[in-house]
Structure 1
């Protein structure tokens, strides 16, 4: 009878934990399956482990030693110090993604990995190394709140496992959002390519379009047209000059701003107008054709 294969023995430090070791374990558990985690600072236990992270004083990826608490600590290409989760995500994140996002295609793994590294993992690296803000509400502090209070009967190991389950849920949700963002960007780029006017992007459903516009170099795009989710209307949205800007590449006409229904329809020369925002960044109509017409008219008026 064949013997049962031994589980991979993984070691991290005992006692109080932080976001980096908790998230690192969540990634490893997803990437490697049923691993045997031991939380210890005993040198002999550490030496006998198959993989060690956040303890041990050694960084050597070839030997699967992933500590970062030393003078010559591992750094990202831009010089930012890694924490244990940054190192583990770098080497095991891609392998974890199919478990975090069931059904993810091979073609999307690289982009999703990159997004999570930049928008979640890097922030933990920075906070753990004291080079980034970690004020109230920061993810790192929320995970640290799982450490037992002084009068708790829960052990640190029990609390660590509980924190890791939460971390895995956060990570899985973030990965699903990143994948959805990639899919949306592809759909927006396709719509822009099909548009007879490169200044107007028409979407058949509401999608996050910013990533495609700014990262896809849609520099000529001025307006995005899309249906509302619950109002039976179509929106004409002016595109800001850059992400998170309150400005517009081209604002809607001054004469339309602040008007609603009949007054807006008369000013814009359509029959089914709904509104135009006072700041001139968005307006709406009851039909797709009218919303596209509003964008075209705004462009024509700006050109004189």
Structure 2
């Protein structure tokens, strides 16, 4: 009877997650939050300690213990032999990356209500790692985005200090007393309770940021892919060159999808899309925009900019420059030549044709 009672208790007692105490970081704060998004861990308690005997009682341990063994739910990355990276990536994982690599698809499937083996879950799994988790891994492992020695050789210096506004720095701030008077969950003789409370704030900070990224990717980025794909497949009907993309509505995040779709299609540089047009708003009488496609996601240099004589010109003066082939209603072209507008779809299509021929 005692053995049966113990067995039932083991099955029903909440799981225990273990991580280290002391100074905390963004990676384990995110790792703990991600685990608790899953039903099995939703009511899990947290033990923050470096005591091996206490860690042995935990179901899952992250960022401490010197062991990476998914079969035993051990996810530390500090051992000398550890060199694991996310598939097709080179950045060494932190505890956040380890938890995400093993549990991320289940988290995404739960959030999107899709089967865990659905192709969209795979797309989102990679998207969230690229856009969010990898930077957490790199930060914790001391990996810079750029090779500092090469930047120094090139004579490139930062114009200002931006480290204080990263999520990792905000988590670090929570390790210290809050001058704004964050409510304490302890008294002076309970320093561990106070530290654990501050860790909970850090975990929520990281987790909420992760969830916002996941929600945006699932509800905006992913649906946009099919829209951009359809526009890409029918682009020759928009312009014989195939270098004009027409989006049917406003607010579609198209850039990343376009680059990926072009790469999948194996387009040569001469075949790639140069301009994208789309309505400014959802209303039927919306104005339309024309935007030049930049050379890559982070570049301010365009594959082809709008014609130089149009740049910085507006309204009737721009109408005169566009000529009789474009109906009146031009709104503007930015001085940098990357974007312009017209009051009508027909007008912006005509602007695109002129820009492509220039």
Q: Same fold (TM over 0.5)?
A: yes
Structure 2 residue 223 is the aligned partner of structure 1 residue 178: no
Aligned to 1:95: 106
What is the CA distance between 1:45 and its match in structure 2? 1.3
Q: Distance in 1 between the 2:274 and 2:91 partners?
A: 37
Which ranges in structure 1 are unaligned for 5 or more consecutive residues?
none
| Distance change >3 Å, CA 150–CA 189, structure 1 → 2 | closer
C-alpha contact (below 8 Å) 2:292/2:338 kept by paired residues: yes
Q: Distance in 1 between the 2:225 and 2:217 partners?
A: 11
Structure 2 residue 309 is the aligned partner of structure 1 residue 277: no
Which of 223, 227, 244 is matched with 2:275 structurally? 223
Q: Distance in 2 between the 1:163 and 1:135 partners?
A: 17
Which of 139, 143, 149 is matched with 2:177 structurally? 149
Q: Distance in 2 between the 1:104 and 1:225 partners?
A: 32
| Distance change >3 Å, CA 104–CA 229, structure 1 → 2 | farther
Q: Distance in 1 between the 2:78 and 2:301 partners?
A: 45
Residues 82-127 of structure 1: CA deviation (Å, up to 9, x unaligned): 211111111011112245x354674421111111112211111111
Residues 234-282 of structure 1: CA deviation (Å, up to 9, x unaligned): 1111112222222222222233222211111121122111112223222
Q: Distance in 2 between the 1:129 and 1:220 partners?
A: 38
Which of 114, 131, 136 is matched with 1:124 structurally? 136
C-alpha contact (below 8 Å) 2:29/2:202 kept by paired residues: yes
Of residues 249-258 and 167-176 in structure 1, the stretch that sits farther from structure 2 once superposed is: 249-258
Aligned to 2:80: 71
Structure 2 residue 96 is the aligned partner of structure 1 residue 85: yes
Of residues 58-67 and 247-256 in structure 1, the stretch that sits farther from structure 2 once superposed is: 247-256
SS in 1 for 2:37: helix
What is the CA distance between 1:36 and its match in structure 2? 2.2
Residues 107-158 of structure 1: CA deviation (Å, up to 9, x unaligned): 4211111111122111111111112369221221111222242998551111
Residues 185-223 of structure 1: CA deviation (Å, up to 9, x unaligned): 221121122230221111122212111221111752111
What pairs up with 1:1-304 in 2 under 5 angstroms? 5-31=12-38, 32=40, 33-76=42-85, 78-99=89-110, 101-103=111-113, 106-132=118-144, 135-149=163-177, 153-154=184-185, 155-179=194-218, 180-195=220-235, 196=237, 197=239, 198-206=242-250, 207-217=252-262, 219-229=271-281, 232-269=286-323, 270-300=327-357, 302=358
What is the CA distance between 1:79 and its match in structure 2? 4.5
C-alpha contact (below 8 Å) 1:261/1:273 kept by paired residues: yes
Residues 30-64 of structure 1: CA deviation (Å, up to 9, x unaligned): 02322122112221111122111111111112111
Q: Distance in 1 between the 2:91 and 2:172 partners?
A: 22
SS in 2 for 1:216: helix
Of residues 14-23 and 214-223 in structure 1, the stretch that sits farther from structure 2 once superposed is: 214-223
RMSD of aligned Cα (Å): 2.5
Of residues 224-233 and 137-146 in structure 1, the stretch that sits farther from structure 2 once superposed is: 224-233
TM-score (norm 1): 0.90
TM-score (norm 2): 0.77
Count the aligned residue pairs. 300
SS in 2 for 1:136: helix
